[in-house]
Chain A
Amino acid sequence: MNSEYLILFFLLGVILVGGAIVFSMFVAPSSKNSAKSEPYECGIPVKSDAWIQFNVGYYLFAIIYLIFDVETVFIFPWGVVMRDMGLTAFIEILVFFFILVLGLLYAWKKGALRWV
C-alpha cells in the first residue's frame, strides 16, 4: 500500500485546477462593460430570447457531412496497409462503404437532403 501517491494525486489535482483559477484572477487584466455580459462577445447583437423556431436543417446537413468526413479519416490508414493485407482489406472496406451508403440512402429517403 502506498497511499502517499494517492494523496499526491489529489493534492496535484486540486493545486493544478485551483491554482490556474486563482492565478488568472490575479494576473489577468479585468475590464467590465456591457458587451462583456453578451452571450457572444463578438458577432451579431442578440435581440430576442432563445425560444424561437429555427431550421434544424443545418444540423442534419452537418451530421451527414460528419459521417462522410469520418469515413475519409478511416480510408487513409486503410490505404496505407491495403497492399499488405490484400483481398481481406478490400472486402472489409467494401462492407464499410456499403453500410455508410445505406446510411446516406436512408437520409435521402427521409428527406434530410431536401432544403426547406
Chain B
Amino acid sequence: MIRARGADGWMGRILSIYLVLFFLYMFGPLLIMSLAAFNDSPYPTVTHWQGWTLRWFGALFADRELWVGIQNSLLIGVGVMLLAVPCGLAAALLLTRMRLSRTSRNLVYGILVSPVLAPGILLGISTLIFWQNFGVGGGLLLATIGQTSFIAAYCMLLFTARLQRFDATLEEAALDLGASHTQVFRRIMLPFLRPAILTSCVLAFLQSMENYNTTVFAIGGERTLMIEIAANVRHGLTPMVNALAVVLIAVTVALALAYELHRRTELRRASRRAAAAQAVDLRLARKPTLQPA
C-alpha cells in the first residue's frame, strides 16, 4: 500500500484502514442515493429493489416547476456574477494598492469578509428587512443581493491573491512612458487579472447556483433550483430528486476533473518555463562575455 512516512508500523496500518473507512463514509451515501435513481419504486430506496428503470430521468425533463426553478437560478447566478466580481475586484484593488493604515485595512477587510463566516440565514434576513423599507419584497433581486454579500468576498480573496504577485513597477514604467491611466489599466492590469476574473466569474456563478440558506429567506415566494429540490424532498418525494442528484453529481465530478486537469497542465507549463529559464542561465554562465585584458 502507500509507504508510511509520517507514521510507521501498526500506526501506519491503522491509519490506512481508517482512511478507507472514511472514504466509504464520504462516498457511500452518495452512491446509495445515486443507485435509488434507477429503482422502479415510487419512493427512493435501495432496500426494496423493484427493477431497473430510467423513467425518473424522463420525469426530470417533464417537470415544469423544476425548469422554472432552474431558470431563476440561472438568472440569479448571472446577476450575482455581474455584481460580485466588480465589487470583489474593487475591494481587492483598494486593499492591495491603496496606502491605508494597518488598522483601516484590517477593519475594511474584516467587515468585507464577515459575511463568509456568518450563517447564511442572517444574510438573507438582513437583506429582506433592509429592502422592505424601500417597498421591495422578497424575490430574485433580493436573493441576488443577499448572495452577493458573501460571494463578493470569495472573489475579493481570489483577486488579492493574484494582485500580491503584481509588479507595480510595470505600471509606473507605463505612466512614465506617457500612457494614460485608462490605458495602463486596460493594457497592463486587466490582462494580468484575466485568469482571476475568469475564475471569479465561474466561482461566483457556481456558488450562487448551489446556495440555499440565504436564498430561502430572501426569495419570498419565488423558486430556485435548490428551493425546488428542498420542496420536493419535503412534499411528495419521488426518485426524481435522486435522478437530479445523479445529474448534479456527474456535473460536479466533471468539473472537479476539469479543474484537476487544468491544475496539472498549469504545473507542467510552469515547470517547463522554469526549466527553460534555467537552461538559458546555464548557457550564459558558460560563455564569458568579457575577457579581462
- Does B bind A? no
Q: Which residues of B contact A (CB under 8 A)?
A: none
